[in-house]
Structure 1
Amino acid sequence: MRAAAELTGCSHHTVAGHVSARDAGRPIAEPAPRPRATDAFLPKIEEWVEASKGRIRADVAHGKLTALGYAGSERSTRRAVAQVKAAWRLGHVRVHRPWITEPGMWLQYDFGDGPAIDGIKTILFVAWLAFSRFRIVIPLRDRTAPSVYAALDRCFRILGGAPTYVLTDNEKTVTTAHVAGVPVRNRQTLDFARHYGVTVLTCQPADPATKGGVEASVKLAKADIVPTETNLRGEYASFAELEAACQGFMDEVNHREHRATRRRPADVLAEEAPRLHRVPDTAHTVAFGLARTVPENTPMVTYENAQYSVPAHLLGARVFVRAHGTGPGEQVVIVHHGPAGPVEVTRHGRARPGSPAIAEEHFPGARAKVPGDYTPRARSAQEAEFLAIGAGAAAWLAEAAAAGTARMNVKMAEAVALAKIAGTAEVDKALGDAALDGRFAHGDLASILNASIARTTMHSADEARSLTQGTAAWASLGTGTPTIAKEQDR
């Protein structure tokens, strides 16, 4: 043993300990177990951990052990409870098998809370194509079935096809009830799925492995799109700005390398697209409401005896109108199906017959006509010269016509002549004052113009003339010569 100790550079006692452990069949260099104060109570601790499903506190266990005659410290109890809990969790852990996806098979979608626009909260519809990891984010105003169907139709058209299965949560738009743990499908959802040739499935409870991809996409989309203190994004002024932000997010995440596949999702989608089903040319419009055709000259549609405005670019197009909600907050939603799929174009509050619901942005360039509010338009050269003077001339014309002024053409020609002499700005101001004071008689314009011109006599000094007061009047004092009178006469 001493020779072996010299070869290894350690004590011969260490060599003797290793030899003894080898002969006894124990692991070499392992510490020898020593009895602990909690060994006799381990069965009871295991019973408590099993009954509490691994949630019992160590201080509670120590109190129970003390009542049973345990004399050890609380630190020993904590160490024993922690070891038993670790063993219990190891025996009850759920083993997840990785989900291997196939191209063209699975599409998952979920919802997230979007930003508020004009005090109204929006919804983020997030879809995730499992094989290519392609993400789609579409903002919605609500989570009703028509809005979800329209978003799914847009997803299919963005992807270039429909997958075999669509996976989502057990919402009322998909599952109406559960019987013996089996979900009962919504009939409208089945009609929608049959139209596109897909199968809508719902995920199992407490099964994050099957739907974790879209949930991670929702978390990523909210962190980038919703204004927070971390991304320093400002509030959205309109719904169009939110749609542009979602499109920018999609362009960014789908054209950068994915961490799992080491490829860009857009490139993988190009390979997966031939495995997708063909999307029908016409969308499933049964749930979108009643069909209406917009007139070719007025962007208004009629729904339940009331009229509602639509964007002007939809003149002559076909739209779908439906009601959403009840009571004072009831809304009328209008959807248009275009080349990119069904898109919600506007929504109004419930209108009454005879009182149409109109949005001003739907009538670009239109001016509300008010009786008695006339816009002067020149119809002759003389009228054009008069109106060219300025705003005061237009005001004078409107007020003089309302007052029934006679021989207006003669007075307008006089104003044009005065503008050439005194200046256009001065005459325009005088016309404005005349219109304000109601002075439309002959000669009033010239009188106002003369009163507005300041007339003062200016004296200036030069080398031949001085402004100093003379003393010639004082020279005749005492001489009797009327010099002062001569000076005054001169």
Structure 2
Amino acid sequence: KVFVDFAGDTIDIFDPITGEVRAMKLFVAAMGASNYTYAEACPSESLSDWIGVHTNLFRYLGGVPKFVVCDNLKAAVSNPDRYDPGLNRTYAEMASHYGTAILAARPRRPKDKAKVEVAVQIAQRWILARLRNQRFFSLAELNAAIGVLVVELNARQMRGFGSSRAELFAEIDRLKLGELPDQPYVFARWKRCRVAPDYHVEIDGHWYSTPYRLIRELVDVRIADKTVEIFHRGQRIASHARAPNRRGHTTIADHMPSAHRRYGKWTPGGLIAAGEKIGPSAAAFFQTVIAARPHPEQGFRTCLGILSLARSYDNARVDAACRRGILIKARSVASIRSILKNGLDRAFLDETSDHQPLRHGNIRGQGYFH
């Protein structure tokens, strides 16, 4: 077993340009039999940092322990149940990649991970206390200094053992480690999404296509640095290269319905017809939005958003707002909503009215009287 945890104390690094101070967390790991210790500073206890320090730990050990005993931090355990804890999906995937198993300590039971509790105390005294008067200007510089002290700690003779941690590790623990995989684990996070009417799912502001038959279905998305993979009921149904830009679409032609045939309720013609019920400007706005997208279905969400505004505002105002949107070349629901919220549609509403209101400084208008 290897026991892992974060130290309570932190150590600072300084930005050489701005002088900003950032507190770094200290990750500590200890092997169960030899007390062989590993330590590394990282920016936070976030999932990406948590996975990263484990990857570095296994590389440092030169193999993979059979079990990893961890605390109930959010990056590791999603449901800290005493008998059946739920592991974070990314953390469990990393463990599967390395062929190890995660054992979460029971909540409020520090004795379950007493080995690393002692290792944390030693690391705070042997590493953090010795570095407290030094100034570090990068995380790499800090970890280089920590690495030197970790080597000294593991080479130090332990009382009552007559051997160092490094010697006991080579004699006992190293022989029991599993082999490292050919490639290190690549960090990826998971997200559950519902497929939109345009058969795309949104990831970090970008839209990725799925087969159109999955409209309204729940899917699981695995998001890595370079790829986006989409799974439905455990089967991978789409894979995309990660797009660097936001507010764009990545669409695979095979995911589109043949000849944009009808699916569900909405088609380009059906949406434009729904816009005509609001008014001619709304229909023209819908047509402009759909024509501006590489694929018509990609504009459906915007059109549906305009239709939803008609629940809060009367059709005349929505149509006037669309008229103003066409004039200023707006193409989003947020723009039309802002026009309505700020009353910028009023001038266009007056222009389309059959009865022009009488404007005079001394006349208050019929709305003043009961």
TM-score scaled to structure 2, two decimals? 0.47
Higher strand share: 2
Q: Comparing both chains, which one has the higher relative contact order based on Cα–Cα distances under 8 Å and sequence gaps of 6 or more?
A: 2
